[in-house]
Amino acid sequence: MVKHKLVDEFPPVTRDKINTIINRRQTMKIEKFNFPSQLLMAPMAGITNAPFRALIEALGAGSTTSELISCHGIGYKNPRTIKMLTPHPAEQNWGIQLFGEDARAMATAAAIACEFGPKFIDINAGCPVKKVVGKGGGSALMQNLPNLSEIIVAIKKVISVPLTLKIRIGWDHNSKNGEEVVRMAADCGVDLITIHGRTRMQQYGGLADWEFIENIAQKKIIPIIGNGDLRTASTIFQHLQTTHCDGLMIGRGALRNPFIFLTPFDDGNITFDSIDYWNVIQVFYKLMASHFDSERIILVQTLKHIVWFAAGFNNAAHFRAQIYREKNIATVLQMGEEFFHANAHIQQQNDHAYEGNSDDDDEFLNNGHG
């Protein structure tokens, strides 16, 4: 298996652990897709920027996807949008996700997006946010299949990379039309579909309905990726044994545990401890600093990931309260280093990181665009 360039950026202690597990991944070779793992990183607004995607690919994700990008923003060649389209040189299997409601604008945007070299273009038909849905984009596309099919056909005409679609299981409890959408999209030429196992009305509440996802996947209409609530290595391992899906997509789990694409393949001998987490932050910070000019973006992003990684280690709540006050990146990095070193050789209590934490970043993790 080809090694990811960035693995060499990690100090030997972490690099050796990564290299030991990474070759145990199962590849995802299906139809037009050839990814080194069946575990894929979910698109996440404000999170899956180029440096994060490059990092998470080096840490074992089979593919990554940009955050949702407005087709209109691309059409206007807005500089912020162009930056969102620009990959990191180390990225290999990454895609660009577009959102919008107008077939012509979506096709124009897809053609421009392809100039940046993604391996696939993805249509967002899952975003539940009012601002997007109100204009007919995101999950509203699942309620307007003639429009969705028009968008698919228009994009297929102008791109040569595969086209993928990300949906939810339906709009609400009474309209779970996921299978109908899958059949229609497959007929129109979509190459792969990711299903987030919730309805639009559920937003991020309740649990993902894996029975619904598996029921569609076992019909083998088109390659299916299952998504929702895969947050721990043991859950992912179990799903990999039984799923009819061609791959599994992980979102929030990777924000707490960047090793989540590797640990399901561990045989119990490798433990990533707080020093490994700190090494990930250092690589991430370097990638951010070389990709973005804005000190604010670098600070906010680095701080966010430090705080998410800290959950589940000793003293995380106190640390979070302290570090959120900081405005200086050098101090933030120093505080992070002290925290993770103070937790040296402790394994993250991952299962607890999602319980009883009613802080603001947990609330943030219950909001999103898909």
Ligand X SMILES: Cc1cc2nc3c(=O)[nH]c(=O)nc-3n(C[C@H](O)[C@H](O)[C@H](O)COP(=O)(O)O)c2cc1C
Q: Which residues bind ligand X (CB under 6 A)?
A: 42-45, 67-68, 97, 124, 126, 166, 196, 227-230, 250-253, 365, 368-370
Measured from the CB atom, the residue of 68 and 306 that comes closer to ligand X is 68
Residues 6+ positions from 260 with CB-CB distance below 8 Å: 39, 231, 232, 233, 236, 250, 253, 254
Of residues 162 and 228, the one with the C-beta less far from ligand X = 228
Report phi then psi at 33, rounded to 5.
-110, 135
Annotated active-site residue in 71, 114, 127, 188: 127
Task: Determine the Cα–Cα distance for residues 6 and 96; give it in Å rounded to an integer.
Answer: 21
Tokens 């990777």, residue located: 254
Residue 127 designated active-site: yes
Closer to ligand X at the Cβ: 11 or 206?
Answer: 206
**Minimum distance of ligand X from residue 235's CB (angstroms):** 10
Ramachandran category for residue 77: left, alpha or beta (phi over 0 → left; psi -120 to 50 → alpha): left
- Closest approach, Cβ 27 to ligand X, in A, equals 21
Quote the CA–CA distance of 364 and 343 in Å, as a whole number.
25
Between β-strands 28-30 and 64-70, what pairing exists: parallel, antiparallel or unpaired?
unpaired
- The whole-angstrom separation of Cα 265 and Cα 55 is 19
Strand partners, 39: 248
DSSP-based three-state secondary structure for 196: strand
Compare residues 88 and 196 and give the one whose CB is closer to ligand X.
Answer: 196
Residue type, 351: D
Of 214, 128, 124, 197, give the one whose Cα is nearest residue 163.
124
**Residue 193: CB minimum distance to ligand X, A:** 12
Nearer to ligand X, 343 or 370 (CB): 370
Q: Smallest gap, in angstroms, from Cβ of residue 257 to ligand X?
A: 12
CA quadruple 257, 260, 264, 267: dihedral positive or negative?
negative
d(CA 2, CA 42): 22
Residue 143 corresponds to which tokens in the numbers above?
């309620």
Shorter beta-carbon distance to ligand X: residue 68 or 155: 68
160 vs 14: CA distance, rounded Å:
38
Give the separation between CA 142 and CA 125, rounded to whole angstroms. 6
Q: Whose Cβ is closer to ligand X: residue 53's or residue 369's? A: 369
Rounded least distance, CB 93 to ligand X, Å: 16
Asked if 99 and 139 count as a contact pair (C-beta separation under 8 A), the reply is no
CB of 236 to ligand X, least distance (A): 10
Q: Looking at the annotation, which residues are catalytic?
A: 127
